[in-house]
Amino acid sequence: MIIVGSDCRDSFVDVPGGRIFVRRWSDGLSSRPPLILLHDSLGSVEQWRDFPAALAQATGRPVVAYDRLGFGKSTPRIERPSFDFIGEEAETFFPALCRALGLTRFILFGHSVGGAMAVVIASEQSEACEAVVTEAAQAFVEPQTVRGIRSARAAFSDPEQFERIVRWHGDKARWVLDAWTEVWLSPQFHAWSLDRHLGNVTCPVLAIHGDLDEYGSLAFPRRITSQVRGPSVMAILSDCGHVPHREKKDEVLRWVADFLAEAAQPRGALI
């Protein structure tokens, strides 16, 4: 099923285990590889709000966002994600999305755990991935991450706060919350990191991070930019928390547009 709007197109794509909801923003003129948005642990297509349309305008590229299986408008899931859910997204679901959409080249923009997924995808699809933007991405599990998730779990025990998740995920809300908190807070997950993937990323990388991010310190973007093999840039946004594309939207758009313009240069050097 495809729904056409004035500036976006909605569809559903078959993947192992169900169907995922996809939205594409485009002026219909650009044939350049799209920016693909990877949402956070409680996220969905709708929660990007007006950012994708603004990103398409700022970069002159199509933008694609999708609800991971179990989130938003995609098929519900019953089982809790495995401790390798980040790798599974990169190895199973993202390739199925690309095949369905006919994508052979792309740029990745991942928020929070979506940023970690972007790194893993780029490490495994180096020929297809032209550039990566991570935003508030975790690179490993640090005490600040655990404290932030525990605090969020306690806050969402309030029915009024939990309704914020229901608003975007409906009957899937409890699964969405548990998929985040129970996996990340499990002792078995505390050894997770991006270290074994970072050295395989050869495309340009921009790591955006807020200096007040409640889920991770500046050690995350430093780890990402210092260990990838491609050229890298670290953008630290002042007075900014975990959602830079909402808190500092114009600043994020400028960083991404300038980064991609430089990355597109045949001999462009990023520092």
Q: Are 108 and 129 in contact (CB under 8 A)?
A: yes
CA gap 36, 30 in Å, rounded: 15
DSSP 140: B
| pLDDT given at position 101 | 95
CA gap 183, 236 in Å, rounded: 28
Q: Are 65 and 45 in contact (CB under 8 A)?
A: yes
CA gap 179, 182 in Å, rounded: 6
Between vectors from CA 2 to CA 260 and to CA 53, what angle results, nearest 5°?
Answer: 30
| pLDDT given at position 232 | 97
Work out the number of other CB atoms within 10 angstroms of the CB of residue 164: 14
Q: What backbone torsions phi and psi does residue 23 show, to the nearest 5 degrees?
A: -130, 135
| pLDDT given at position 26 | 86
Q: What is the mean pLDDT of each run of 10 residues along the chain (271 residues)?
A: 58 96 83 95 98 96 97 96 97 97 97 98 97 98 97 98 97 98 97 98 98 97 98 98 98 98 64 39
| pLDDT given at position 197 | 98
Q: Are 114 and 94 in contact (CB under 8 A)?
A: no
| pLDDT given at position 31 | 80
* CB proximity list for 99: less than 8 A, separation 6 or greater: none
β-pairing, 63-66 vs 18-25, is antiparallel
Q: Angle between the 173-184 and 143-155 helix axes, to the nearest 10 degrees?
A: 150
CA gap 104, 127 in Å, rounded: 9
Q: Which two tokens stand for residue 219?
A: 């050690």
- Which amino acid is located at 114 in the chain? G
Domains of the chain in sequence order: 2-263 (3.40.50.1820)
| pLDDT given at position 267 | 43
CA gap 199, 204 in Å, rounded: 12
| pLDDT given at position 263 | 85
